[in-house]
A and B are shown apart, each in its own frame.
Chain A
């Protein structure tokens, strides 16, 4: 197996139309791209045939090299982002897009071995009902309640109460531990309750 060369060197040579560098780039990432396609499909409950995966694999490499490598030229490596990580995001996004078009994705549910513990309690807590209200009604009231929260905390609440995502999904999206989803939620709810009561928003 070839030792991967510096990715920026390889990238620059590809952008100059160097065919052997393009072949090296493809050889370096082909297996990973193919794996990502299959893993994405599996994670989203889709049964992907080998020829479909092969088509997606080819479509991806076409996408990054067509129009004089327009997509590849857009990569700048900001924030120390690696080429591999950037390609990974593109492959997964394209695969999800394709699966959605084929209507093979029915939900964002995780694999079957994830605990099905609900984050939204099925009780009569008025704060929970406030958080679940229609977006237009909820917006103004929530703005007042949540304006002091960080974007991350607000996003966490939105994912729990509006998107109704599972703890595992939220943890992955926000890059926190799954346990932290529960503890943050508890802490935030208490804080919001205190605010809501002070504002007279709860019965």
Chain B
């Protein structure tokens, strides 16, 4: 992919569709004037766009090519397979909101995803953001099998030194790790009740509880 992007894709699309005002077109030409790469891009795009508004009737795309693109998002999991529900309880020092169809929460509330027809009712891969203390974190949950998942906790900003991450499952400590920029991953975890505890110098920074069940 070209690194140089003076001319935004959307702006170019609007330009070639004749949707810009005269002033906006002048502005685009001014930008191209100052940049050889943009001028070449303008010319080379223009030649193709002019002749590709309509696909010829005889032209076809192989089914396998289309299916490959569809499959990029992965197939729907079979009912009862690799499906987990998630409930998140924020305890001390934890802040919402969460992304990916989980509802924003007030401190201390419990969120359970709607087990109905919502696309987020089940997942194989889930990512959400949460802030524990002052530290924004990215949490990845990947379902590797009916009874196995991997949990990754990754700081979004450089964490202060000496921050420890404790992961417990059903009351039992599964992992203790110092938290660096690359984060920490624990795999082969069974469904259960997980407690993520962040501490620094024996002081609790924040806690989060994840209920992951079939």
Contact = CB atoms under 8 A, between A and B. Distances in A.
Interface of A: 16-19, 22-23, 26-27, 30-36, 39-40, 43-44, 50, 54, 57-58, 61-63, 65, 68, 74-82, 85-86, 88-90, 92-94, 96-97, 108, 110, 150-152, 154-155, 158-159, 163, 165, 168-170, 172-175
Interface string B11-46: 111111111100011110110110010011111111
B70 interface: yes
Contact of B52 (A27, A57, A88, A96): A88
B48 A173 contact: no
A7 to B, nearest CB: 13
B120 interface: yes
Contacts of A22: 70, 72-73
Contacts of B25: 152, 175
A169 B46 contact: yes
A163 B65 contact: no
B51 A43 contact: yes
Nearest to B75: A19
Interface residues of B, number: 59
Given A22-B70, A93-B9, A150-B26, A31 B48 contact: no
A151 B21 CA distance: 14
A175 B44 CA distance: 13
Interface in B103-153: 119-120, 127
A166 B32 CA distance: 17
B47 A93 contact: no
Given A26-B69, A85-B16, 9 more contacts: A36-B48, A65-B73, A78-B14, A79-B10, A79-B20, A85-B14, A89-B9, A89-B13, A159-B43
A173 B43 contact: yes
A27 B120 contact: no
**Which label, helix, strand, loop or mixed, suits the secondary structure of the A interface?**
helix
Contacts of B27: 151
Contacts, number: 180
B47 A110 contact: yes
B61 A108 contact: no
A190 B1 CA distance: 41
Contact of A61 (B14, B40, B69): B69
B201 interface: no
Given A27-B66, A54-B62, A151-B33, A92 B45 contact: yes
B79 interface: no
Contact of B10 (A31, A78, A108, A174): A78
A21 to B, nearest CB: 9
A152 B26 contact: yes
B101 interface: yes
A154 B33 contact: yes
B202 interface: no
A18 B118 CA distance: 9
